[in-house]
Amino acid sequence: MISATTKIYGIVGRPLGHSLSPLLQNSLARATDTDMIYVAFHVSENIETAINGAFELGISGFNVTVPFKTDMLKLIEKIEKKAKKIGAVNTLVRGETGYIGYNTDITGLEMSLGNNGMSVKNKNVILLGAGGAAKSALCLAIENQAKTVTVINRNIKKAEKLKEEFSRIYTAIEVLSLDAVKKNIGLLKYDDYFVFQTTSVGMYPNVNDCIIENSKFYKKCDAGIDLIYTPFETVFIKNMQDQGRKCINGLDMLILQGVASFELWNGIKVNREIIENIKKMLLKDLREKMK
């Protein structure tokens, strides 16, 4: 029951029409008997005004999504160490005088790999993409002592910028253009890559698209994750499986980053059974949406 003391949370971004976060967070609140509601705030223009106003209104916290994850760094007074390192914020927790920024994307990604028996320790890693999600994957690879990281992106300048940003803490980064790799798979030096597919290619409704079609690419990979979760099985995942490679989708990451935000806001630990039940419900909802 909503009352005068019910805490209000939400997600800021645009577009939000397909966001699963309201369903996820409100289900977590119900399952843990937490007095909160969570709504989608479509911010069309001025995020600074929106966040300042929200603080004055007493809103307890936010998830932050595209296109505000980086801009948010300039708008809040305190940023947790990991979010600062990644250069992106996806969670705001209300503090005394303003919001404090966190990044739970990397937590969600790390836990989803762990839950599926995957690790990048001592591995040669490929990042397909150089956007916000690639940044989280790069941080994770560095923190988990990947041997090398090869960033492959359509826009090579963006990949070079990513390399430059992390060059102080990690030097084993190589950058390749997507076009060059498509023309010559031999540019990839190893045969055992762990690959993070972090581009939006193959995402609903463009479900027949794939970032790289050449089967030689998949032969060079050992295992991987496609961060997309609509559809559950992208052409990229199918191509990996056709070569006998294990590849998971991004649904666990999505759920686990949301759970990590919920835990930060409420200071509680969500148990595994609740997470599994919510996963089943989200799967049902996604299947309906994709019909």
Catalytic residue numbers read 69
Beta strands, E only, 136-256: 148-153, 173-177, 193-197, 221-226, 246-248
Q: Which of residues 60-79 bind ligand NAP (CB under 6 A)?
A: 66
Q: Residue 197 Cβ, how far from ligand NAP at the closest point, in Å?
A: 8
**Integer CA distances (angstroms), 172 to 6, 131, 133, 273, in order:** 49, 19, 19, 40
> In angstroms, what is the minimal distance from the CB of 156 to ligand NAP?
8
Contact 30/72 with Cβ under 8 angstroms? no
- DSSP letter assigned to residue 186: G
The binder of ligand NAP chosen from 87, 129, 224, 231 (CB under 6 A)? 129
Q: Which of residues 216-235 bind ligand NAP (CB under 6 A)?
A: 227-229
CA trace torsion 28, 83, 222, 227 (10° rounding): 50
- 158: contact with ligand NAP by CB under 6 A: yes
Site string for ligand NAP, 6-25 (x = CB under 6 A): --------------------
Q: How far apart are the first and last CA of the chain?
A: 33
Tell the smallest beta-carbon distance from residue 57 to ligand NAP (Å): 28
Least distance between ligand NAP and beta carbon 21 (Å): 10
CB of 97 to ligand NAP, least distance (A): 29
Q: Does 43 bind ligand NAP (CB under 6 A)?
A: no
Query: Count of residues binding ligand NAP (CB under 6 A)?
Result: 27
Residue 94: both structure tokens together: 């209300």
Per the CB < 8 A criterion, the answer to whether 229 and 247 are in contact is no
- Return d(Cα 93, Cα 264) in angstroms, integer: 7
Query: Is the torsion defined by CA of 135, 140, 145, 146 positive or negative?
Result: negative
Contact between 103 and ligand NAP by CB under 6 A: the answer reads: no
Residue 155 interacts with ligand NAP (CB under 6 A): yes or no: yes
Q: Which of 153, 239, 261, 266 binds ligand NAP (CB under 6 A)?
A: 153
Can you list the pairs that 101-104 forms with residues at least 24 positions away whose Cβ atoms lie under 8 Å? 101/72, 101/73, 101/76, 102/261, 102/264, 103/136, 104/257, 104/258, 104/260, 104/261, 104/264
Is 59 a binding residue for ligand NAP by CB under 6 A? The answer is: no
199 binds ligand NAP (CB under 6 A): yes
Residues that bind ligand NAP (CB under 6 A): 66, 105, 108, 129-134, 153-155, 158, 178, 198-201, 203, 211, 227-229, 250, 253-254, 257
